Structure 1
């Protein structure tokens, strides 16, 4: 069953808050993984793997490289998780 954007955002925000030790309330669709979270490539790869596990979605390396913001990740999961 497809999830709404809001449901996907909430799950992704929970993962980010836990993994990157940031205040859950500060996470928005505009949050940028590399500039706002200071995520290095290993952090980002682990985050992508966690998204795949959580949502059962396959995220290619090419697609992952284009996911810069929380909003882009939400859109990708919603579009590829039917």
Structure 2
């Protein structure tokens, strides 16, 4: 996925879950200060983003997301990495 596709998908998630105008979502925007997302809503956003993008966001990672760009960087890195496959046992 391109960064623009990730940004559009995240804007869609924020619009659906938090009622944020998609046009207001920009990389430099703060989730709390600019977009008014509290910690409970952020949990809902993360769960919806996990479903939308097929990734798992560990608690210690999403707690560091202060801006939209933080989330986009994580999603971009996660989208590039191949899915983990457990080693085969004999």
TM-score with structure 1 setting the length: 0.88
Deviation at residue 37 of structure 1 after TM alignment:
2.0
Kindly indicate whether residue 41 of structure 2 is the aligned counterpart of residue 6 of structure 1.
no
Moved over 4 A (4+): none
Q: What SS is found at the alignment partner of 1:34?
A: coil
Separation of aligned partners in 1, 2:20 and 2:57:
24
Question: Which residue of 37, 40, 46 maps to 1:39?
Answer: 37
TM-score with structure 2 setting the length: 0.81
Structure 1 gaps, min length 5: none
Deviation at residue 31 of structure 1 after TM alignment:
1.2
* RMSD over aligned Cα atoms: 1.2
- Structure with max Cα Rg: 2
Q: Which has the higher contact order (CA 8 A, sep 6+)?
A: 1
